[in-house]
Structure 1
Amino acid sequence: MNRPDGPGGAGVDPAELWLGHDRPRRGRKPAFSREAITAAAVELADAEGIDAVTMRRVAAKVGAGVMSLYSYAPDKETLLELMVDHVSGELPADGPPTGDWRADLAALAGLQRSLMLRHPWLPSALSSRRTPGPRALAFVERALAALRPTGLDGGARLEVFAQVTAFVAGHVAFEVTQSTAARPPARAAAEARYLAAVAADGRHPELAEALAAPVRPLTAEATFARFLNRLIDGLGTG
């Protein structure tokens, strides 16, 4: 697959990737489909993380020779593009807007969060710039329609959706990290004692006020909703 940046350059040619046919560029009749190879890569990433996805591991999973895979995905970067769009197909592209753009945007962000929690490697994959494939574009179309009542032009609506997507990816990455690095109770208690002592020293009045505030629900869902609503409220229509 040709690279628009020339030999050794970064980036996948999106027209060649997404508008081409699902067939190898050369050789005999294909024994596998691009979809099957992508699905195998996704299964591997779901089970072991994105670093486990190598052309050799994917080839072994589908029972193919490594060289045969290069007809479908010449490198891991291209494979990641395929993987991101593959799982984007789990996002429902239908569902007419309700007219309440804030509620609609929150619902779409919730769908994205659920998708990323099912595929914890996805936030990392999205950290590099990627051109949306056909499945991802269907969800983008839905989001832009939901944002039409804001009165923003198309470019601004696209920016809003990109901003919310970036928030969701960052938040899910934090959630996943926290879930795999839970603090022992003794450590949490020690941190609480330390902060209480600092708050009582008279030199940190803002922190003291913050720690004295009513405790908010700390479930993952409640925390995500609070942060998301603050972001959406700050978007406005300007």
Structure 2
Amino acid sequence: MEGRTCLITGASKGIGRGIAEHLGESGANVAVNYRSSVEEAEEVVETIEDSGGQAIATRADVTGRREVEAMRDEIHDAFGPIDVLVNNAGITQDTKFEEMTREEWDTVIDVHLGGAFNCTQTFFDDIKQSEYGRLISISSIVGKQGNFGQANYAAAKSGLFGFVRTLALELAESGSTANCVAPGFTETSMLETVPDRVREVILEDIPLNRFGSIDDVACVVEFLASEESSYITGEVLDVNGGMDL
């Protein structure tokens, strides 16, 4: 990854942070996107720099096109065009569908799909013109299986499958690739809020009998961002401990 520039959206915490740190440790220039967690984003930058890499923290709400375009200008000034875009930014607003408001639906769809649209289109020329451009979107097993109280989240994560597979076709002529990573239940702050009795039920459905780690997901993203993945495109890589078998 030496000399490659990577942008990870929603990179101040959780899976996004793990991805940013892995790519930074592998020698990439990393743009750490955040919306409001500036201190956490700066910590990620420090971690990458301590490992010998280069990084910047760059603020943008991915649902705002002008903010994303301003972020592009900031990254270009620091590192030049990007080679790798990881669409990771996401939120949840969980409730049963019959009680879900249109605002809760729209907000989740706009962050996951609208954000992926804004960032991908803004950086599309960079990816297309890179010697080995990589578009990677972080989906979820919920996009495949659904989950009670998450109709909005499941619809958004499922939508990324079709989005990436279409762009894989449109980027193929340039030699750039587009793929999805679909984590299962992963040890993040989101999972920490799940009651113990529910965690036990979830574990019963995981053949490997453990929750995923952030490193489990970050290592797969790092592989997709590397030259070794150049013949993989339009795929959904599951990282779920066998839940989808």
TM over 0.5: no
Which structure would you say has the larger Rg?
A: 1
TM-score interval, normalised by the smaller of the two chains: under 0.3
Determine which structure has the larger helix proportion and give its number.
1
TM-score between the two structures when normalised by the length of structure 2: 0.26
Question: TM-score, with normalisation over the residues of structure 1?
Answer: 0.27
